[in-house]
Amino acid sequence: MNKLKALCCYCGKKVATTRDHIPPKAIFNKPRPSDLITVPCCFECNNEASGHDEKFKTYLGMHVARQGGQAEQFFKRGVLPTVRHNKKLLRKIISNSKNVNVVSTNGIYLGAATSVLWDSEAHDAVIERLVRGLYFHHYGVIIGEKANVKAYWFNGLPSSDLDSYYCNTIGDGAFRYYFNKAIDEDYSSIWLFQFYGGHNAGGFTEPNSIGLP
């Protein structure tokens, strides 16, 4: 008897011919962590994600480098070589950069710095893929068109109520995420992500009445 082939956990339509790392393995320092998560993925979804992954990695590295430690190493070893090689991306970064004055939360002037505007399309695409992939990983359910996924950027994780979330870390804390799912409503969930202690994002899923059977 032939076993049924797994479907792609992202689109839920095509047969999974490969496995995808979530988060993208490129955001971790080498040697890669041994606790990386992989999910079944079709070639098309995997191929479409590669361009977003490279941009996300680059902007993430610039954003968290100031955290020092493994975040700084990620910027130096993982991001700078990419920028030197990808001239088109480098030109985009430069064109979206501007000089800003940095002021502390207490109103103290800290000096001038360069601010780089994130590629929001790449950011939200990666965050949405994270939500879909981790939803499948933890609940064994393909969201597909049965729910809408909304990606967000957060200034920080909430200081309270995190005890009500499940928590997991990957890469010795390089990536930390919190999640929970509504008990009485399918496809309703919340996800909070923290990268290198310096970038916070997340997403929500909500049922799509059009996509439900």
pLDDT tens digits for 189-199? 999 999 999 99
| Residue 180 domain-assigned (yes or no) | yes
CA gap 177, 172 in Å, rounded:
12
- Report residue 210's pLDDT band, with 50, 70 and 90 as the boundaries: low
The residues that bridge with 152 in the sheet, in sequence order, are 202
Full residue range of the structural domain in which residue 79 is found: 18-95+117-207
Q: What is the pLDDT averaged over residues 17-28?
A: 95
Strand 97-103 with 37-41, pairing: unpaired
184, exposed or middle or buried, with CB in 10 Å at 0-12, 13-18, 19+? exposed
Strands (E) located in 23-71: 37-41
Mean pLDDT of the chain: 89
Q: What is the pLDDT of residues 121-153, one digit of tens each?
A: 999 999 999 999 999 999 999 999 999 999 999
| Higher-scoring residue by pLDDT: 173, 101 | 173
**Does residue 6 sit within a domain?**
no
Say what the pLDDT of residue 4 is.
61
DSSP string over 123-170: HHHHHHHHHHHHHHHHH----TTSEEEEEEEESS--SSSGGGSEEEEE
Number of domains within the chain: 1
Residue 82 covered by a domain? yes
**pLDDT for the residue 123:** 95
pLDDT recorded at residue 1: 41
> Residue 11: inside a domain, yes or no?
no
In a domain, 3, yes or no: no
Does residue 102 lie within any of the structural domains?
no
**Of the candidates 152, 193, 203, which has an alpha carbon nearest to the alpha carbon of residue 173?**
193
Q: What is the pLDDT of residue 169?
A: 96
Closest to 193 (Cα-Cα) out of 161, 210, 169, 160: 169
The answer to whether residue 111 is domain-embedded is: no
Q: Give the pLDDT mean for 24-41.
A: 95
Percent of the chain exceeding pLDDT 90 equals 68
Whole-angstrom distance, CA of residue 202 vs CA of residue 124: 9
Q: Residue 80: inside a domain, yes or no?
A: yes
